[in-house]
Amino acid sequence: MPLTDLSLADCLARRPDLPVPADFDAFWSRTLGEARAHPAAKARFTEVDTGLTQVRTYDVTLPGFDGQPVRGWLRLPAGASEPLGCVVEFLGYGRGRGLAHENLLWAAAGHAHLLMDTRGQGWSSAGGDTADPHEGTPGSVPGFLTRGIESPETYYYRRLFTDAVRCVDAVRDRPEIDPDRIVVTGISQGGGIALAVAGLVPGLAGVMPDVPFLCDIRRGAEIAGRPPFTEIAEYLRLHRDRAESVLGTLAYFDAALHATRATAPALFSVAMMDEICPPSTCFAAYNGYAGPKDVRVYAFNGHEGGAEYQQREQLAWVRSLFAGLSSGQAGHS
């Protein structure tokens, strides 16, 4: 698997001039304000019996975009007696939340762990339980990157980013969780969502985007050799007259632009042979990230990135981060 993008030195030096919509911040303030003001029922946490004795698991349903139900799992280490730091995780493209007994890493490390289901997805793993009631756009390319792409108001990722912010809101209200020790993370699509949340939600303790998708979207659509970025290129191949409006919509959802608003400490990972999320797009987010940051680079890996090696890095990073924070230190609004 050869290098297909810029060298590491060129990636580290690259700071693209990302388009910033004039109403970018106002758009997101309004979107999140409307979601938080929706009269939908509050989040529900129902404990389930998984047969596991060391982890308590809750089936979660919380109000996301427009109050629509979003599913998830909350896992807590059994016997924990004080407010816990929490890792909120977002999933890669096509993945669902899985089954109740899966994904035990963060609870086994002594942390709370909320795993958000992804609306409308879940075709590549068991347990996609959140519907997206909005219809796809006529003429959209199969996948999610072109759904509602005619306008930021109707675009799929407006709903998904809002769902993710509401997940953080929900765990901040749980008595078992320290609201000042919340880290967001994800791989690929989940990494892009984590960056967006980091830019939209103040007071996070940290963010860990792995081989993040949705960064420097135009470049991704131009150079990525494999889906999902190719969905955008395919759409514009069919709709030759829509490039300006499509790229205008996508600017609101570019995780590299959201990263310029994020100030929580960050641990990135990038793979230099990644054909799905080209490294130059990931470094666009890393280089523009506004807070303290570090990165792990996997020179000979594709989109699998660091996998268990990156998990080892993350476990140590989160342990150190949470140990340095006591309740009330970080502050949030």
What the block records as the tokens of 102 is: 């899966």
Known active-site residue 5: no
Across the range 40-55, mean pLDDT stands at 96
Largest CA-CA distance found in the chain, in angstroms, rounded: 59
Torsion of CA 187, 189, 192, 198, to 10 degrees: -70
Helix (H, G, I), strand (E, B) or coil at 185: strand
What the block records as the tokens of 181 is: 């020790």
Confidence of residue 330 (pLDDT cuts 50, 70, 90): very low
Q: What is the pLDDT of residues 16-36, one digit of tens each?
A: 999 999 999 999 999 999 999
- Among the listed ranges 79-88, 152-161, 281-290, 294-303, which one has the minimum average pLDDT value? 79-88
Q: Which of these is catalytic: 188, 210, 216, 258?
A: 188
Q: Which of these is catalytic: 113, 269, 274, 280?
A: 274
Helix (H, G, I), strand (E, B) or coil at 243: helix
The domains of the chain, with CATH numbers, are 8-323 (3.40.50.1820)
What the block records as the tokens of 11 is: 């990636």
Known active-site residue 303: yes
3-state SS track over 92-104:
CCCCCCCCCCCCC
Check residue 82 and give its pLDDT. 80
Known active-site residue 188: yes
Cβ pair 191, 210 in contact under 8 A? yes
DSSP string, 85-143: EEEEEEPPTT-----TT---HHHHTT-EEEEE--TT--SSSS-------SPPPTTPPSS
Mean pLDDT for the chain? 94
Check residue 128 and give its pLDDT. 80
Across the range 274-297, mean pLDDT stands at 98
Across the range 171-176, mean pLDDT stands at 95
Check residue 136 and give its pLDDT. 54
Confidence of residue 124 (pLDDT cuts 50, 70, 90): low
